[in-house]
């Protein structure tokens, strides 16, 4: 009888260890599944943005790593429309690849690293040369929301002037952390920052959200240019209140166009 107490203790300890192991294995399986889902969504985001004409041979989309906020996922240097899961790499917030294996990196990866560093709430980023937005970065006409799908523009769309951060003689690219940090500061709390003579950066709370925003930024710019061309008096933009309320309701339906764009982009 006296021996049964240590025996029982050992039995309970073994049972607890087995339970811990099971929980650990389950956690690891969940993490793997989460990682895979994020990776798959990032591939789809690349394909959608290309299919919808937001990016062409250039431009990129990244996501902050769901399991480690100090890392982000971004493809190797290539056309977004051709990206597969094998092309996605992990980066730290200095813009260094963790396992480069000789692969070429996007020169402008510092857009992503510095914005993630400066803005912890941002989880996904698109950089593009989205054609209709370019005129709004080079003129004094502000890019403002003219319909509900682009209500996130109501937070204001600043213009990044690279001459202020890099002087008169740059090649317009964000090719170092200092330029990336200056761009992140100019972005502030907005969803979009225009880059004069170059393109834009769009940020979001997740991959679907940033794809929505990048797409509707392009559409809004196109339609605003049409409204300006039509003339006929002042343009009625969404008010600040309309923009805030509409942005909240639109975020609830982001999955709908994502499903449609995904099917078109993947050809199934």
Q: Which residues are catalytic?
A: 108
Q: Strand (E) positions, 39-191?
A: 60-64, 71-75, 88-92, 124-128, 159-160
Burial 10-26 (b: 16+ CB within 10 A, else e): eeeeeeeeeeeeeeeee
The C-alpha atoms of residue 86 and residue 65 are separated, in whole angstroms, by 16
**Residue listed under structure tokens 């200056």:** 182
Neighbours of 195 (CB within 10 A): 24
Contact 151, 247 (CB under 8 A): yes
Q: Of 29, 177, 165, nearest to 116 (Cα)? A: 177
């Amino acid at each position: 009888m006296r021996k049964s107490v240590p025996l029982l203790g050992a039995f309970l300890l073994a049972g607890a260890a087995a339970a811990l192991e099971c929980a650990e294995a389950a956690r690891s399986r969940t993490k793997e599944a989460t990682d895979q889902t994020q990776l798959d969504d990032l591939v789809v985001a690349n394909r959608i943005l290309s299919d919808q004409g937001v990016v062409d041979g250039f431009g990129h989309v990244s996501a902050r790593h769901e399991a480690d906020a100090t890392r982000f996922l971004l493809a190797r240097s290539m056309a977004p429309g051709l990206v597969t899961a094998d092309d996605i790499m992990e980066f730290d917030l200095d813009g260094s690849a963790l396992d480069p294996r000789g692969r070429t990196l996007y020169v402008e990866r510092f857009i992503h690293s510095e914005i993630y560093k400066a803005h912890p709430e941002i989880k996904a980023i698109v950089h593009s040369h989205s054609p209709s937005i370019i005129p709004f970065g080079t003129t004094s006409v502000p890019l403002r929301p003219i319909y509900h799908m682009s209500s996130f523009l109501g937070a204001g769309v600043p213009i990044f002037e690279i001459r202020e951060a890099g002087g008169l003689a740059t090649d317009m690219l964000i090719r170092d952390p200092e330029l990336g940090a200056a761009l992140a500061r100019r972005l502030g709390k907005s969803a979009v920052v225009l880059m004069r003579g170059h393109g834009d950066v769009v940020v979001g709370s997740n991959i679907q959200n940033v794809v929505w925003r990048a797409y509707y930024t392009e559409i809004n710019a196109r339609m605003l240019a049409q409204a300006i061309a039509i003339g006929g008096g002042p343009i009625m933009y969404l008010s600040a209140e309309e923009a805030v309320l509409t942005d909240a309701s639109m975020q609830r339906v982001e999955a709908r166009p994502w499903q449609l764009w995904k099917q078109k982009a993947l050809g199934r």
